[in-house]
Amino acid sequence: MCGIVGYIGEKNATPIILEGLRKLEYRGYDSAGIAVIEDGKIEIRRDVGKLINLEVLVKERPLSGKIGIGHTRWATHGAPSARNAHPLIGEKGKVVIVHNGIVENYLELKEELESEGAHFNSDTDTETIVYLIERNFVKGVTLEEAVRLSLQRIRGAHGIVVISNQEPDKIIAARIGNAGGVVIGHGDGEMFVASDIPAILEYTRKMSFLESHQMAVVTRNHVEIKTLNGEHVDVKIDNIAWDPVAAVKGKYRHFMQKEIHEQARSLTDTLTGRVDFDNNRIELINLNMDEKKAKAIQKIIITACGTAYNAGMVGKTMIETIAKIPVEVDVASEFRYRDPLVDESTCVIVISQSGETADTLAAMEEAHKKGAIVLSIVNAIGSQAIRAADGYISMQVGPEIGVASTKAFTAPLVDLYMLAIYLADLRGTLTEEERSHYIYDLRVIPDIAGKCLKREDAVEEVAKILKDVHNILYLGRGINMPIAYEGALKLKEISYIHAEAYPAGEMKHGPIALIDKDMPVLAIIPKDQWYDKMLSQVEQVKARGGTLILVATDGDARAKELGDYVLWIPESPWLLTPVFTTIPLQMLAYHIAAIRGLDVDQPRNLAKSVTVE
């Protein structure tokens, strides 16, 4: 999704902005641009396609200035093209803008501006904002005031950053709603503005975050934050602990492969500071939950999108089994418009890697409106899903760059398991023995994950065989049913192979008609309470000539007999098996896509964080 970087200081802004945009490439984009103020004039370079095209353009026609803004655009209004790329400039060349979000009333604004004589140079909605700002500005108000007045006219959710050659000593940044974050980086005699932390982490760890309906006036040495009504806001500076080195690809071919392999470590990290193995206790400090609140919960609703939603489905079984609280799981884009039955006795849990997914944030708002306790499980520190929640668990897995989520899927599984124990404990529904047993099982996670990862070569061999298939049907049951969905999602998003997932028991109600020699079936059959049922589904597939790929527990003789190919996992506690059955499926999707020579980290049409509806 769109990315923003801005710089003001004593250095040449161009390389800093281009490097920042490179750090945001993982978000997905289809054009890029940069504007700097050079000798009192706004200079712009924009191009369609990857950042390298913009870099070539900047090499051909260099830019230098001490203040500038840049953008990677993911098209919403108007095709991906240089003409529609940001930054977009006002009619008189005095104001230039980069923007994340959608102007919901842009047609109305465009007609109004056209009736006043405006000519638009792009097909974007963003141009209406910069035209409005410039028209207010040339009437004689300050740039800050012009932005404020203009933002009052536009509907929707937005992150915007504006500069002007008439006031070349400042950047104005503003945020309305949840169209992605606006973060300000505090340097020494220089300041940075970005949509996401990684863009500027190389330069500073001191960051401030804009809330909705706030704007910032950023000069070289000072940051002032106000509400859009002009009220003063204290500038809070957070120290960000992420290690930028963790975002480098290292020996791996792709970030996705690196992130898959990081899971033994990231799963350890997510346990860190939460599990006291000596005293058999879980401590989730940032959850802000106490006995009274926990006991008042009548129902939990987990809501999220994509991979995070699949994690939520696993969480349902974990929480219902351990904490005995009824759990519903809802896709966030449905929840937000469904008028869900939520009240003060409901606890709504959202899961999000980026913490900026528009549908998920809107679901949080809806839940809050109805009086629910809203908790979040989030990876990106400082993101809106953390700030807007009543309490949160941070995934603690470090930046995830590959668009296909991997380590940010397995970590929340463990977080949900810990949350279930924690809630059960607060509600007094766990015996000492049960708690010890569940907590003891957490110890094995990093070791078993590590063993799964060591089996990559065997998975790659299966990938070589499957690389040209056109469809795969994924089946799972019980706690591993969501893993069938997650495996299928991983395969389709990076390899572009059609993959469909089903709860295995549903096979006989329709999908079995698809089975023939051209429809490979991947079934997840660890040794758990659904094992016998899964075996009978697998036998039915076998009887119809389908190729069978099984994910099975080491030593399972029946799986060896039935499966054409078996992806083995070590024996593990049943409630935690999804953490391990997932790993071979991530590796399978990865290798199929890599063998097909596809852009694994930035698959077509996808963005890392989906900040629009």
Minimum CB separation of residue 223 from ligand M6R in Å reads 27
Nearer to ligand M6R, 360 or 480 (CB): 360
State how far the Cα of 333 lies from the Cα of 607, in Å rounded to an integer.
17
CB of 174 to ligand M6R, least distance (A): 23
DSSP states along 72-95: EE--SSS-SSTTTPSPEE-TTSSE
**Cβ closer to ligand M6R: 195 or 307?**
307
Of 200-208, 397-405, 513-521, 546-554, the window that binds ligand M6R (rule: CB under 6 A) is 397-405
Which residue number has the CB closest to ligand M6R?
306
DSSP 473-505: EEEE-GGGHHHHHHHHHHHHHHH--EEEEEEGG
Q: Which of residues 15-74 bind ligand M6R (CB under 6 A)?
A: none
Cβ–Cβ < 8 Å for 472, 521: yes
Asked if 2 is an active-site residue, the reply is yes
Question: Can you state the angle between helices 407-427 and 432-442, rounded to 10 degrees?
Answer: 170
Least distance between ligand M6R and beta carbon 259 (Å)? 11
Q: How far apart are CA 304 and CA 354, in angstroms?
A: 11
> Do the beta carbons of residue 147 and residue 174 sit within 8 Å?
yes
Rounded to whole angstroms, how far apart are CA atoms 78 and 76? 6
Per-state percent for the chain, helix, strand, coil, to nearest 5? 40, 20, 40
For every residue of 90-126, DSSP letters joined together read -TTSSEEEEEEE--TTHHHHHHHHHHTT---SSS-SH
Q: Which of 404, 439, 499, 587 binds ligand M6R (CB under 6 A)?
A: 404
Contact 374, 364 (CB under 8 A): yes
One of 2, 305, 347, 452 is an active-site residue; which one? 2
- Does residue 572 bind ligand M6R (CB under 6 A)? no
Q: Is 100 in the site for ligand M6R (CB under 6 A)?
A: no
Pick out residues in 323-352 that bind ligand M6R (CB under 6 A).
352
Q: Is 609 in the site for ligand M6R (CB under 6 A)?
A: yes
| Region of 173-181, 322-330, 587-595, 602-610 interacting with ligand M6R (CB under 6 A) | 602-610
493 lies in the site for ligand M6R, by CB under 6 A:
yes
Whether the bond between 573 and the residue before it is cis, its omega within 30 degrees of 0, is no
CB of 308 to ligand M6R, least distance (A): 4
Shortest Å distance, C-beta 336 to ligand M6R? 13
With CB under 6 A as the contact rule, the residue among 72, 164, 212, 357 that binds ligand M6R is: 357
Closest C-alpha to 397, from 376, 379, 421, 424: 379
Any bridge partners for residue 215, and if so which? Answer: 174, 226
**Could you tell me the smallest distance in angstroms from the CB atom of residue 376 to ligand M6R?**
10
Q: How far is the CB of 255 from ligand M6R (least distance, A)?
A: 12
577-595 helix and 445-453 helix, angle to the nearest 10 degrees:
20
The residue assigned the tokens 């945001």 is: 24
**Number of shown-chain residues binding ligand M6R (CB under 6 A):** 16
Q: Which of 303, 317, 354, 495 binds ligand M6R (CB under 6 A)?
A: 354
Whether the CB-CB separation of 358 and 330 falls below 8 Å is answered with no
Q: Does 610 bind ligand M6R (CB under 6 A)?
A: yes
Paired tokens of 549: 């790929």
The CB-of-608 to ligand M6R minimum distance in angstroms stands at: 7
Q: Find the catalytic residue in 66, 94, 490, 608.
A: 608
Is residue 195 a contact point for ligand M6R (CB under 6 A)? no
| C-beta of 317 vs 611, nearer to ligand M6R | 611
The contact pattern for ligand M6R, residues 283-322, with x = CB under 6 A and - = no contact, is ----------------------xxxx--------------
Residue closer to ligand M6R (CB basis): 375 or 534: 375
Give yes or no for residue 400 binding ligand M6R (CB under 6 A).
Answer: no
DSSP code for 240: P
Given candidates 147, 217, 403, 507, which one binds ligand M6R under the rule CB under 6 A?
Answer: 403
Residue 582 makes contact with ligand M6R by CB under 6 A: no
Q: Check if the beta carbon of residue 102 is closer than 8 Å to that of residue 125.
A: yes
Amino acid letter at 3?
A: G
Among 212, 360, 495, 611, binds ligand M6R (CB under 6 A): 360
Determine contact, residues 70/5, Cβ cutoff 8 Å. Answer: yes
User: Is 608 labeled as catalytic in the residue annotation?
Assistant: yes
Measure the CA–CA gap between 110 and 131, rounded to whole angstroms. 9
Quick check: 353 binds ligand M6R (CB under 6 A)?
Answer: yes
> How many helices (H) and strands (E) would you count in the chain?
20, 27
Cα separation, 595 vs 597, whole angstroms: 5
- The answer to whether residues 419 and 442 touch, using CB atoms and an 8 Å cutoff, is no
By beta-carbon proximity to ligand M6R, the closer residue of 47 and 359 is 359
CB of 278 to ligand M6R, least distance (A): 33
495 binds ligand M6R per the rule CB under 6 A: no
Residues in contact with ligand M6R by CB under 6 A are 305-308, 352-354, 357, 360, 403-405, 493, 606, 609-610
The residues that are catalytic are 2, 608
